[in-house]
């Protein structure tokens, strides 16, 4: 947009200078009347302001007004009118390229925005997929924990069942031996009916 503004300013200055010189002539020359020159200069100022603001449509409208004023000039030297027409045409070309550049910039901005939106949507999809995978992992972990708890319960139940099936033996006592008399021998050695030497 910098080249456009520079070209636009040059065209406006050249056209303005031509108008200024044309308005300064004597009464016998076929120059621009002061009022017409002032109107064209005002429109040139509008072109410059619109261009500085980046308002291409406004600048194009102001150039169209300048061109119309130049075409409607009557009783003006033909060479002066031709120079003014040429300046207005040059200004129109410069301002027209403003619209093309603005369209190109707008298209580039749209593409950038579309790319950013696509990237954001892609990122959101990736995040959603990662979140779903994380949830699935949590579900699997919970299922594994539940299965482990069930297995522990079953193992404990099996151990308990096995304990109930085994005969209970008093602790610390071995198998009881019956003595022939039904009496247990005394500790220490010799019992009744044993010969002593």
Instruction: Give domain limits for the chain.
Output: 2-114
The arithmetic mean of pLDDT across residues 34-42, rounded, is 76
CA dihedral 105, 111, 113, 115 (to 10 degrees): -150
> For residue 40, which of 81, 3, 4 has the smallest C-alpha distance?
81
**Tens of pLDDT, residues 58-111:** 888 888 888 888 888 777 788 888 888 888 888 888 777 776 666 777 788 899
112 HSE (CA, 13 A, CB side): 6
**Tens of pLDDT, residues 136-168:** 999 999 999 999 999 999 999 988 888 888 765
Residue 97, pLDDT score? 73
Whether residue 1 has pLDDT greater than 60: no
- Interhelix angle for 56-71 vs 34-53, to 10°? 160
Whether residue 180 has pLDDT greater than 80: no
CA dihedral 98, 99, 103, 104 (to 10 degrees): -30
Structural contact between residues 157 and 165, judged by C-beta atoms closer than 8 angstroms = no
> For residue 47, which of 107, 86, 90, 104 has the smallest C-alpha distance?
90
The arithmetic mean of pLDDT across residues 128-138, rounded, is 94
Burial 106-124 (b: 16+ CB within 10 A, else e): eeeeeeeeeeeeeeeeeee
Residue 134, pLDDT score? 94
CA 184 to chain centre: 98
> For residue 26, which of 85, 82, 72, 77 has the smallest C-alpha distance?
77
More reliable by pLDDT, 57 or 32: 57
The Cα–Cα gap between 20 and 22 comes to 5
Domain topology for 2-114: de novo design (two linked rop proteins) (1.20.1440)
Burial 34-49 (b: 16+ CB within 10 A, else e): eebbebbbebbebbbe
């Amino acid at each position: 947009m910098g080249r456009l503004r520079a070209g636009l300013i040059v065209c406006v200055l050249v056209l303005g200078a031509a108008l200024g010189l044309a308005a300064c002539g004597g009464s016998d020359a076929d120059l621009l009347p002061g009022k017409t020159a002032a109107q064209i200069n005002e429109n040139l100022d509008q072109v410059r302001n619109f261009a500085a603001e980046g308002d291409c449509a406004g600048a194009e409208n102001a150039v169209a007004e300048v061109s119309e004023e130049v075409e409607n000039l009557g009783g003006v030297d033909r060479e002066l009118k031709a120079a003014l027409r040429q300046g207005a045409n040059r200004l129109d070309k410069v301002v027209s390229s403003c619209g093309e550049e603005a369209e190109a910039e707008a298209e580039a901005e749209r593409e950038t925005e579309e790319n950013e939106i696509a990237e954001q949507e892609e990122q959101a999809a990736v995040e959603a997929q990662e979140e779903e995978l994380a949830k699935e992992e949590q579900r699997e972990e919970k299922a594994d924990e539940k299965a482990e708890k069930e297995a522990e319960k079953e193992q404990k139940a099996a151990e308990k069942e096995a304990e109930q099936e085994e005969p209970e033996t008093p602790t610390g006592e071995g198998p009881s031996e019956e003595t022939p008399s039904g009496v247990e021998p005394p500790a220490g050695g010799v019992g009744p009916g044993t010969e002593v030497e």
